[in-house]
Amino acid sequence: MSAFYNEIRRKSRKIRVGNLFIGGDAPLTVQSMTTARGYEGIYAQMKELQEAGCDIVRMTVPDMENVRILAKLKEQDIQMPIVADIHFDYRMAVEAAYAGADKVRINPGNIGSQEKVQAVVQACRAKNIAIRVGVNSGSLEKSKLAKYGGVTPEALCESALENVRLLEGYGFENIVVAVKSSSPYKMAAANRMIAQRCSYPLHLGVTEAGTLRLGETKGAAGIGGLLLSGIGDTLRVSLTADPVKEVLCGRRILDALGFGEGKLELVSCPTCGRTRIDIIGISEEFERRMAAVPLKKHIKVAIMGCVVNGPGEAGDADIGIAGGNGEAILFKKGQTVRKVPENGLVDTLVEEVRRMDGESE
């Protein structure tokens, strides 16, 4: 599915982060951030994130204790690149770089003097790691707020580009840019501006998006709109929730756009007065059952409520059903196969998908 995204993708530099790349033609990646404290807690959470499909993980490094934790984590079986999140104290950025961080996230504007920024650049250059320039609506300079009358897309864009130019002034171009806001509109508008003004890879996210339901919706709106325009190279869905939920939401957004690596694509109708079978229950049960089935191929399944629109609207599905009265027609590639009673529909679909997945190309 990454090839599909690359057809519309903005041209950007390809930046190495640990064993992965961001930008260029590299696959879209999903990130999250640890919330635990102490080595044991952070390690356990990183393992959970890794199992959930997280590509890149960020951890806060406010002090030397966390620098030591970072160094210890790099010696363990954490396969994801680890990004050190730094605020204010440039020394922690330098120490994190030498401790093995795969990328350092800073806002150059709050690091301090030019000498301090230069020290961070020198450390990252010495270790050949990228710097993520992170700007968000809560960290805008007072001068930008005064100039633009508050947090605006223009203010966010200008702040980010000034910080990028600061790093470029030291000959450093191993950069990823992240501009975030709790407003999907401001975040998207700012990233569109930046996409036209630089070629660095972009990290997308709606910050402080809220709890699971609201946060996923806001993330999908802001992130999804940009990705459909070919803008964006990596993403994080920020949630007031377990970080694993962030990863799952990110994967769902990519799959919904057709840019993910998910193998099962499910389409189902919203039902209407013609429906004579329990489409909602069947769809939910099928989705639940298939969550435990690893697939090797991409398979599109359609669960439709009636034969009036079912086969036609889902004609491009690999397999599907169109409901009747207490039964449904099973179809493959738009061709009717047989009738199946309602109580056997989920079992039949699961069996047929498994069979189709096992067939040779």
Domains delineated in the chain = 2-257 (3.20.20.20), 264-355 (3.30.413.10)
3-state secondary structure (DSSP) of residue 354: helix
pTM of the model: 0.90
Please report the pLDDT score of residue 198 as a whole number: 97
H-helix or E-strand spanning residue 135: strand 130-136
Beta bridge partners of 327: 341
Beta-carbon contacts of 35 under 8 Å, excluding residues fewer than 6 positions away, are: 45, 243
| Signed CA dihedral, 259, 255, 16, 137: sign only | positive
pLDDT tens across the length of the chain (361 residues) = 567 899 999 999 999 999 999 999 999 999 999 999 999 999 999 999 999 999 999 999 999 999 999 999 999 999 999 999 998 899 999 999 999 999 999 987 788 888 999 999 999 999 999 999 999 988 888 899 999 999 999 999 999 999 999 999 999 999 999 999 999 999 999 999 999 999 999 999 998 878 998 999 999 999 999 999 999 999 999 999 999 999 999 999 999 998 988 788 898 988 888 888 999 999 999 999 988 788 888 899 999 988 776 677 777 889 999 998 999 999 998 888 999 999 999 999 999 999 998 875 5
Distance CA 195, CA 176 (A): 12
Amino acid of residue 139: S
